[in-house]
Each structure stands twice: as structure tokens, then as C-alpha cells.
Amino acid sequence: MELLIFYPIAALAVVLALFVVFNKSPIGSAVSLIGLMLCLAGVFIGLSAHFVAILQVIIYAGAIMVLFMFVIMLLNLKDDDNVIWKSREGNTLLTVLTGFLVLGILYKIISITLSADSSKPAKIMESFGTTAEVGKSLFTTYVLPFEVASILLLVAMVGALVLAKTKID
């Protein structure tokens, strides 16, 4: 039953992810990305992590993608066949490094998944994925990563403000 829901959503997610990369118009890419985020939220619901699914919709599909749309609207980007994306010379090294990084992460994920014993799935607690549980683990076990991430976001926000301010003055 769960697989019946999981496979269509996962397949749709993969197709939409490909659309994001191969779509020529920026609006199309952005819309596909929104769809992809919603599919991921669906996968989270399938894993009975309801709160995380809602956060996925509110933060990624809602807040962040609206900003993407904003940029597209303000710059009035159109799909233009004349624009050919060229990778700059200096980027080659960076591209290769990023490629290796992604490969490494994928390898790790696949090896963890394969090594797990799928015949005895772990028991899911009754309270798993509820708001209270997620909040508790965020403020006890994972309090340091949580605070570090929030400081990182604050720094980014201050940085953006400083950059914009100097331009205006």
C-alpha cells in the first residue's frame, strides 16, 4: 500500500528534477522545482514524518520558491534561444570537484541503504514525526547543529543587507 503511493510520487519527482535541469525557460524550471518540492513532501508523509513534510511545503515550496519567482519576475527573464550557457575555464576544476562530492554522497547513501536489514524494519514509535517529538530532538540532541545553521542564515541575511545598503547609498 505504501509502495503504491511511493512509486508514482518518486517517479514524478525524478521527472520533475530532470525538467528543472533541461527546461529552457526559467519560469518552467522554477515551476518544476516547486512540483519537485511538493513530491518530496509527499515522500516525507509516506515516511510518517508529517511535521517535516509541512515544513518542506512551507519553507521550500512556499517561501524559497516565491523568492525565485520574484527574481524571475523582477529581471523579466524569458526563454531565449540565443543564450548559450558556457562553462567558464576556471569552473572546470570546481565542476569536477563538485561531481566527486555528489558521487561520494550518493555512494555513502547507497551503501547505508544496502547494508540495512530490510527483513526486520525498525519499529516506528507512536509519537514519531509529531511536532512535539521533532521540537524536542531539535532542542536537545541536535541543538548545536540547529543553532549553527540559524547563525549561518543570520550571517547570510546581514550580508545581503550590507551589500544592498552600499549600493543604495
As measured in angstroms, the least distance from the Cβ of 79 to other proteins is: 9
Question: Which one, 74 or 84, has the nearer CB to other proteins?
Answer: 74
Which of 12, 54, 64, 133 lies at the binding interface for other proteins (CB under 8 A)?
A: 54
DSSP 67-117: HHHHHHHHHT----TT------TTHHHHHHHHHHHHHHHHHHHHHHHHHS-
Q: How far apart (Å, rounded) are the C-alpha atoms in residues 43 and 47?
A: 6
Binding to other proteins by CB under 8 A, coded x per residue (else -) over 66-105, reads x--xx-xxx-x-----------------------------
Question: Which one, 128 or 142, has the nearer CB to other proteins?
Answer: 128
Q: How far apart (Å, rounded) are the C-alpha atoms in residues 19 and 34?
A: 11
* Residues 138, 146 contacting (CB under 8 angstroms): yes
Footprint on residues 139-158 left by other proteins (CB under 8 A): none
Question: Which one, 3 or 93, has the nearer CB to other proteins?
Answer: 3
DSSP 4-72: HHHHHHHHHHHHHHHHHHH-SSHHHHHHHHHHHHHHHHHHHHHTT-HHHHHHIIIIIIIIIHHHHHHHH
Verify binding: residue 10, other proteins, rule CB under 8 A: no
Q: Measured over all CA atoms, what is the biggest interatomic distance in the chain, rounded to whole angstroms?
A: 64
Number of residues that bind other proteins (CB under 8 A): 24
Binding to other proteins by CB under 8 A, coded x per residue (else -) over 21-40, reads ----x-xx--x--x---x--
Question: Which one, 34 or 39, has the nearer CB to other proteins?
Answer: 34
Verify binding: residue 60, other proteins, rule CB under 8 A: no
Q: Which positions touch other proteins (CB under 8 A)?
A: 25, 27-28, 31, 34, 38, 50-51, 54, 57-58, 61-63, 65-66, 69-70, 72-74, 76, 130-131
